[in-house]
Structure 1
Amino acid sequence: MKEYKVVSWKMGLSNNDQRLENTLNEYAKQGWQLKQFAENSARLVFERDKNR
């Protein structure tokens, strides 16, 4: 079974790439994989196995 997490992404005035990279790395350490980046709605959708 899979579980999902939706994270709203807010663009700032600077360091957007670094902040995004840090966010992706934080969730990856917790076992999450990025499944979708909805650019128009600024949302990141992560997935991982629920029974890990």
Structure 2
Amino acid sequence: MKEYKVMNWKMGFSNNNQRLEDFLNEYARDGWRVIHIAENSARITFERDKNR
């Protein structure tokens, strides 16, 4: 079974790419993988196995 998480990315003015990379890597360490990044908004959808 899968579980999902939807997060809103808070864009900033400085170091935005580095902050986004750190944010994604933090969730990856917890077993989440990105399955969708909305183009016109800052919404990121993650997925992972619930019984891991």
| Structure 2: distance between partners of 1:20 and 1:39 | 15
Does 1:9 find its partner at 2:9?
yes
Q: Secondary structure at the match of 2:5?
A: strand
Identity in percent? 71
| Structure 2: distance between partners of 1:15 and 1:48 | 28
- Cα RMSD between the aligned structures? 0.7
> Structure 1 length normalisation: TM-score?
0.94
Corresponding position of 2:28: 28
| Structure 2: distance between partners of 1:14 and 1:48 | 30
Q: Which segments of 5 or more consecutive residues in structure 1 lack a partner in the other structure?
A: none
